[in-house]
Structure 1
Amino acid sequence: MPDSGFRNLQPLLRPRSIAVVGASPRLNRGTRVLENLRRFGFEGALHVVNPKYADVLGVPCVPSVRELPDGVDLIVVAVGADSALAAVRDAGERGIRAAVLIGSGFGEGSVGSERAAELRRLLDKYDMVACGPNCYGTADLASGAAAYSGRIVDPLPLGNVALILQSGALSHAVTDSAMGRGLAASALITTGNEVSATVSDYVAWYAEDESTEVIGVFLEGLRDAPKFAAACRLARERGKAVVVVSSGRSDLGRQAAMAHTGAISGGAAALDGLLASVGAIRVSDLDEFRETVLLFSHLRRGSSAATGVGVLSISGGASGLMADAAEASGLSLPAFEPAAVDLLTELLPGFAAVNNPLDVTGSAVEDPTLLLRSLRLVADQPQIGAVVFAMNVGLSGPGQEALYRRQAEILAEVARDVETPVVLLTMTAGPLDPVIHATLSAAGVPVVMGLRPGVHALTSWLDWPRFTLAARPEVERLGGWPSPHAVASGADAMEALVSAGVPVAPFGVAAGVDEVAALVERVGTPVVLKVESPDIAHKTEAGGVVLGVTTPEEAKAAAEAMLASVESHLPGARITGILVQRMVGGQKLECLMGVVDDPQVGLVLSIAPGGILAELMGQAASRPVPVTARDVEELLDASVLGRLLAGYRGGPAYDRAALVQAAVSFSEMAASLPGLAAAEVNPLLVLPEGEGVAAVDCLLINDQAS
């Protein structure tokens, strides 16, 4: 059983005895549950609760849940919402520990919400665990406990893939589209409204399941992001890949929009960051999901650490498209070693160009040994972690079957003789010739279909083993907010940065114009003047910032003019002082470092080019806070900042190490602040290598900001 924090799903997924409430001879959803239980070989006792019949499909009936015999672990409820509540209540009183609730009626609206609340109360009262409501149910195929009301594609052989989906209907899009491709499942779970067990609980359970090696997840929304992250980490620790496809983009809310970060860290980026931090694989659509799950389920990584791919085809056009797709996906196609190039040049026709991808030319149609020998040579390259043959289609028209089947035989022959994994990739998606599938399956050669999803699946498979779990920082929550105002800016925010260990350009606060000159002398020139006001988040637009002040006398006059400008732009705004800060001179790179509170994932950190470029650069990658140094390194390398920091077009290299440490400290501060909705340093100035960083402006927004 998974570690504490996750629900015990034993009675739900591995019950000794099951009762189906509402099954009838009219072939309703409850009856389909009985059919699935029999199809997948459930060996425990079965019962039906229906007062109208003596039996259903040969399974004896009892009039009510109260009259079930002892030993029932799970009830599958296929009746209306109000009757379902009564069934759960009776089951709890009988000591039944789990329920699958198929029907709806526990969702939106006052009545549905009241039912959902009552259902939670009953489940808590009787210490029961439930799947649903509003779901197909659970099918733990390894045990035969297919408490599942949907139709399941036939055949769906027993295998190593657990599919956990927050949509019942989409199960068909995954399983049915993989027919004839060798998708073999250990489980098919549809989670429904998740009143009790959530997707996180199922991921954790199958992370510990001996028959499961790949966990495929479809997400519509996360209810418990930290728990989901923990479940994914558990799977990673057990060496099991978690492949995730999701729908929707969340609205970060008005408070987050007050900071520039809200425009660059949307819900998709937040979820991407969460998955990246725990080693889960994010895919973009169902085709990529299916191909990735299939590839991981069929192909094992050997002892080789090589991450390059050698691609072969009999078409120059296919080779070009493969090269384009590989570049877009980040799939490595290393050049062949000189000795191999010489051998391939000697082997192939004189008009062939020896590159990777390698076009063995149409001559291989007349002489199949060209493909056979080329595959062997490429597989022998030390930098090649997988050999891929790009075939036009998986199922050809009349007259072409022999060609493609012969190519499959060659792939199978090579795969049996070499240690490097061999993969067939079809340039287009569609059905697969059953003869080709049988030939390749017997030799352990997986098939991925469709150029883009196939290449992305290969990239994920090669990259995944390189991820190692890092210990997450432990951060204590602070006792209070660092300002008397819900929006902390200016001195309050800068003091919070200093306390967190983030370097800040020297500053001080003058209570009024008369104190400005003395403060300038203490801070040093040149300085920038900024109005201090809890009512002004972005000061420049209100005339509340003056740059380049060089003398105390000039500072006093500039402060008077600045206050007059603010008053004209925002009459009635509260003015609490004037911040005087030394300007950072010399070569520097502006960055934005921000945190927003994503509705699903929670607080996430992003780093982007600063100043006015922040929003123009588009969405930035993110990671949940607090971050590790490796998280920050990955964020930098995922954007143009990585190149800018290294010295772009002859420019100086900037202090990347100092930026990484500042981001870690800033993330820990954000994680510690109670009620934080958004936090932003913009700009954070990164100085030349070895000279550090300096924050010059900061904004902290409490979730109570109005």
Structure 2
Amino acid sequence: MTEKQLHALFNPQSVAVIGASSSPGKIGYSILENMIEAGFKGDIYPVNPKAESILDLKVVNQIEDLPDNLDLAVITIPRKLVVDSLDLLGGKKTAAAIVITAGFKEVGGKGYYLEQELINTARKHDMALLGPNCLGMINTHGLVNASFAAGKPDPGNIAFFSQSGALCVAILDWALGENIGFSKFVSLGNKAVLDEADMISYLGQDSKTDVILGYIENVSNGEKFVKEAMNHSNEKPIIIIKSGTTSAGAKAASSHTGAIAGSDQAYTSAFQKSGIIRAHDVETLFNLAQAFSTQPLPKGPSLAIVTNSGGPGIMAADACEKSSLSMARISSATIGQMQEFLPSYASLYNPIDIIGDAGAQRYLKTIDSVIKDGNVNSLLVLLTPTSTAAAEIEDICKGIVEVSRNTDKPIFACFMGKKIISRGRKILMDGKVPCYSFPEPAISCIEQMYKHYQWKNNPCPLPSPVNRDRGRAALIIDRVKKSGQGEIVEFQAQEILQAYNLPVPKTALARSSHDAVEIAQRFGYPVVLKIASPNISHKTDVDGVKLGLSGPDQVRKTFLDITGRTSRMRPDAHIAGCLVQEMAPKNCKEVIVGFKRDDQFGPLIMFGLGGIYVEVLKDISFRLGPVTREEARKMIREIKSYMLLKGFRGDLPIDFNAIEEIILTMSQLAHDFPEIYEAEFNPILVNSHQAMVADVRMTLG
């Protein structure tokens, strides 16, 4: 979508309302009324086949009578008329349209095909299209309210887009009650043409927007979404709620907007890769929005806490300890300053407890001293409404606002209570100091702001190149595809591993017991025998793996046992023989590296403990491909079992570099061959000085 089209959508100079109504309560009436009340300065054209004027505006009776080159048309007419009307508007070179009308993809059946026609029509005319099945759009700074929402938001620096129109209505009403302003407020609806990636792209460049918020149920184009978020998240915080995270939620999402909710882990990984901050509920979304939209980012993790009550101070310190923040070590100079005006029984160390009888003067002197301490990166001011604090609460809050205006460090407030502190809370909010009811959400917001500071100041590294022979691997994959197999099992995949220079035990295919003995003697005993069949992926199902074979007679007998038993258990399977493999080195731990291709975002790379542990413990970390070396390093260190790999009670640490290389190679393999739907190296046997891919399977899409 071009910048010109999106500019016409958000900053129109001329607007037509197709389906304007003279009946209050009708959507076509509400949209006209909202446009007038917003103070829109351009031309408004109500379109209605019967009326002469609506709300003192002259009515145009049919689309054909509208002027050419309109910026925006808002369509609210019966579903069956929408496509033809959009085509007529396109013929008159209308730049953008909002389709309020519902009954498209979200209802299935004919609605789905009508939406496809709508998409084709918009694209034919190169028209920006918002909706269908949406609430509309508000641009407070442009004096545009092309929606049927009740209530008019104040101008602000927060932009919000949502896939749910009903949620837009609820959040708008809540925001009006909380005195929160918006720059843009957008209902995406079914996202037939314009989607969340387009919103991030436009809002990321919007000079009136400092914080981008979103509610999504699915993503239309995962690659585009991640790309746009990466382009803009280092300039502005992007905070998103993703619903449909449970099976029940995913089912609800599908029936609500016709969306198919993707893997929640894939979304988590996509957000992580692109710098999106994920909120899990609406309250957190707006807690974060207030923090980011009003305060500077903390330039370090050190947090100071000033409180008039010990209990809340301890709660805040506990929350800090559980986060990635740290309790600031107050300098001796600052402690010396505070000793001059604080009571002798006050606690001068962090958290700084200035005692329950603290009034405005004591609060403000302490805050002023602490915020100037070079060891402090951010400050949280706690207040419980003791009689002294309650009596002077307005002066305390005005002082906090004044200090906040004269520092480049973020200051947050936590006023515990409701009725008594309400006057102070309003002063703080009006003065752009976020105020929370409890310490934990305040600490969480500060932590997210610090993480965003780190994200902004750490450029994204490029994926490390992997040395491989892609052509050699392609020959194997093509051969398997031509055979009609859906899976590349181990004996076929061995050559792919070799093409990608992956460390593997010496392995060869034996087609007879004589071959097996000959290969075993060449490798040296002991060896492993594994059944080799393109039809058998789980070799243990047929007892098709035998370890530690130490002589020719044992190898010969085991070969005949494995192949004979498999023939009886799986008469349908083609048996190529057995793989003969050297035994793994001693003192190895088992890990797994794999990927599964998400429909929206592509390959999701995973790492965890291998063998049966991956199924039992599910101790796994994920990243969206392509993976960088830094991401591979973090994946290994994120699992709960990391300390087992690092070395525990005398064990040597594993060869982490070798595992990082295998993760990077798996990521490259996933990128090179989109036809591979999932792949798994399990187990990878690793000790202190090497790693070996002991087993592999790959599934074709």
TM-score (normalised: structure 1): 0.88
Distance 1:310 1:567, change over 3 A: farther
Q: 1:24 matched to which residue of 2?
A: 21
Structure 2 residue corresponding to 1:277, chosen from 268, 273, 289: 273
- Matching residue's letter, 2:224: K
- Alpha-carbon separation, structure 2, partners of 1:431 and 1:66: 61
SS at structure 2 position matched to 1:197: coil
Structure 1 residue corresponding to 2:233, chosen from 214, 217, 236: 236
Distance 1:198 1:547, change over 3 A: same
Q: 1:371 matched to which residue of 2?
A: 363
Structure 2 residue corresponding to 1:248, chosen from 239, 244, 247: 244
Please list, as runs of the form range in 1=range in 2, the aligned pairs for 1:425-444 lying within 5 A after superposition.
425-427=414-416, 433=422, 435-439=424-428, 441-442=430-431, 444=432
Per-residue deviation, 1:430: 10
SS at structure 2 position matched to 1:648: coil
Distance 1:84 1:311, change over 3 A: same
Show CA shifts across 1:188-211 (max 9, x none).
111111111111111101111111
Structure 2 residue corresponding to 1:311, chosen from 294, 305, 308: 305
SS at structure 1 position matched to 2:330: coil
Query: Is 2:526 the partner of 1:526?
Result: yes
Q: 1:295 matched to which residue of 2?
A: 291
- Alpha-carbon separation, structure 2, partners of 1:429 and 1:515: 82
Q: 2:316 matched to which residue of 1?
A: 322
Q: 2:49 matched to which residue of 1?
A: 51
- Alpha-carbon separation, structure 1, partners of 2:418 and 2:625: 40
- Matching residue's letter, 1:390: L
Please list, as runs of the form range in 1=range in 2, the aligned pairs for 1:547-566 lying within 5 A after superposition.
547-566=547-566
- Alpha-carbon separation, structure 1, partners of 2:172 and 2:386: 25
Confirm or deny: 8 A CA contact 1:23 1:31 kept in the other structure: yes
Per-residue deviation, 1:540: 1.8
SS at structure 1 position matched to 2:150: coil
Query: Is 2:205 the partner of 1:208?
Result: yes
Confirm or deny: 8 A CA contact 2:295 2:411 kept in the other structure: no
Query: Is 2:198 the partner of 1:198?
Result: no
Distance 1:186 1:413, change over 3 A: closer
Distance 1:268 1:360, change over 3 A: farther
- Alpha-carbon separation, structure 1, partners of 2:503 and 2:311: 54
Show CA shifts across 1:596-643 (max 9, x none).
122332211111111222133336332211211122122223223543
Q: 1:572 matched to which residue of 2?
A: 572
Structure 2 residue corresponding to 1:421, chosen from 407, 410, 417: 410
Distance 1:455 1:515, change over 3 A: same
Deviates more, 1:196-205 or 1:537-546: 537-546
Confirm or deny: 8 A CA contact 2:239 2:277 kept in the other structure: yes
Q: 1:627 matched to which residue of 2?
A: 627
Q: Percent identity?
A: 26
Deviates more, 1:10-19 or 1:662-671: 10-19
SS at structure 1 position matched to 2:546: strand
Deviates more, 1:181-190 or 1:560-569: 560-569
- Matching residue's letter, 2:148: S
- Alpha-carbon separation, structure 2, partners of 1:487 and 1:226: 26
Confirm or deny: 8 A CA contact 1:242 1:281 kept in the other structure: yes
SS at structure 1 position matched to 2:682: strand
Q: 1:256 matched to which residue of 2?
A: none
Distance 1:179 1:143, change over 3 A: closer
SS at structure 2 position matched to 1:537: coil
Deviates more, 1:654-663 or 1:413-422: 413-422
Show CA shifts across 1:475-530 (max 9, x none).
99986736513211212223222222322222111123321111112233332221
Distance 1:447 1:180, change over 3 A: farther
- Alpha-carbon separation, structure 1, partners of 2:420 and 2:226: 36
Query: Is 2:545 the partner of 1:545?
Result: yes
Distance 1:430 1:219, change over 3 A: farther
Show CA shifts across 1:227-273 (max 9, x none).
00111022135x1111111111378xxxxxxxxxxxxxx92221111
- Alpha-carbon separation, structure 2, partners of 1:399 and 1:411: 17
- Matching residue's letter, 1:356: N
Q: 1:258 matched to which residue of 2?
A: none
Q: 2:133 matched to which residue of 1?
A: 134
Distance 1:351 1:608, change over 3 A: farther
Query: Is 2:359 the partner of 1:360?
Result: no
- Alpha-carbon separation, structure 2, partners of 1:192 and 1:542: 52
- Alpha-carbon separation, structure 2, partners of 1:329 and 1:568: 58
Q: 1:697 matched to which residue of 2?
A: 695
- Alpha-carbon separation, structure 2, partners of 1:567 and 1:449: 69
Distance 1:368 1:126, change over 3 A: closer
Distance 1:550 1:351, change over 3 A: farther
Per-residue deviation, 1:434: 5.1
Confirm or deny: 8 A CA contact 1:497 1:666 kept in the other structure: no
- Alpha-carbon separation, structure 1, partners of 2:594 and 2:221: 23
Confirm or deny: 8 A CA contact 2:428 2:434 kept in the other structure: no
Q: 1:257 matched to which residue of 2?
A: none
Q: 2:258 matched to which residue of 1?
A: none
Distance 1:373 1:569, change over 3 A: farther
- Matching residue's letter, 1:308: S
Query: Is 2:439 the partner of 1:447?
Result: no
Per-residue deviation, 1:436: 3.5
Query: Is 2:683 the partner of 1:683?
Result: yes
- Alpha-carbon separation, structure 2, partners of 1:566 and 1:391: 73
Please list, as runs of the form range in 1=range in 2, the aligned pairs for 1:42-81 lying within 5 A after superposition.
42-81=40-79
- Matching residue's letter, 1:409: K
Q: 2:112 matched to which residue of 1?
A: 113
Confirm or deny: 8 A CA contact 1:654 1:686 kept in the other structure: yes
Structure 2 residue corresponding to 1:160, chosen from 130, 154, 157: 157
- Alpha-carbon separation, structure 2, partners of 1:450 and 1:660: 41
Show CA shifts across 1:120-140 (max 9, x none).
221122222210111111222
Confirm or deny: 8 A CA contact 1:175 1:183 kept in the other structure: no
Per-residue deviation, 1:64: 1.2
Distance 1:53 1:448, change over 3 A: same
Confirm or deny: 8 A CA contact 1:679 1:698 kept in the other structure: yes
Per-residue deviation, 1:595: 0.5
Confirm or deny: 8 A CA contact 2:175 2:181 kept in the other structure: no
- Matching residue's letter, 1:470: C
Q: 1:222 matched to which residue of 2?
A: 219
Per-residue deviation, 1:697: 1.0
- Alpha-carbon separation, structure 1, partners of 2:645 and 2:136: 51
Distance 1:692 1:99, change over 3 A: same
- Alpha-carbon separation, structure 2, partners of 1:469 and 1:168: 36
Query: Is 2:381 the partner of 1:389?
Result: yes
Q: 2:85 matched to which residue of 1?
A: 87
- Alpha-carbon separation, structure 1, partners of 2:339 and 2:615: 50
- Alpha-carbon separation, structure 2, partners of 1:100 and 1:343: 61
- Matching residue's letter, 1:191: L
SS at structure 1 position matched to 2:615: helix
Per-residue deviation, 1:277: 1.0
Distance 1:131 1:568, change over 3 A: same
Distance 1:10 1:179, change over 3 A: closer
Distance 1:454 1:51, change over 3 A: same
Q: 1:464 matched to which residue of 2?
A: 452
- Alpha-carbon separation, structure 2, partners of 1:167 and 1:642: 40
- Matching residue's letter, 2:580: V
Confirm or deny: 8 A CA contact 2:157 2:293 kept in the other structure: yes
Tell me how large the CA RMSD over aligned residues is: 2.9
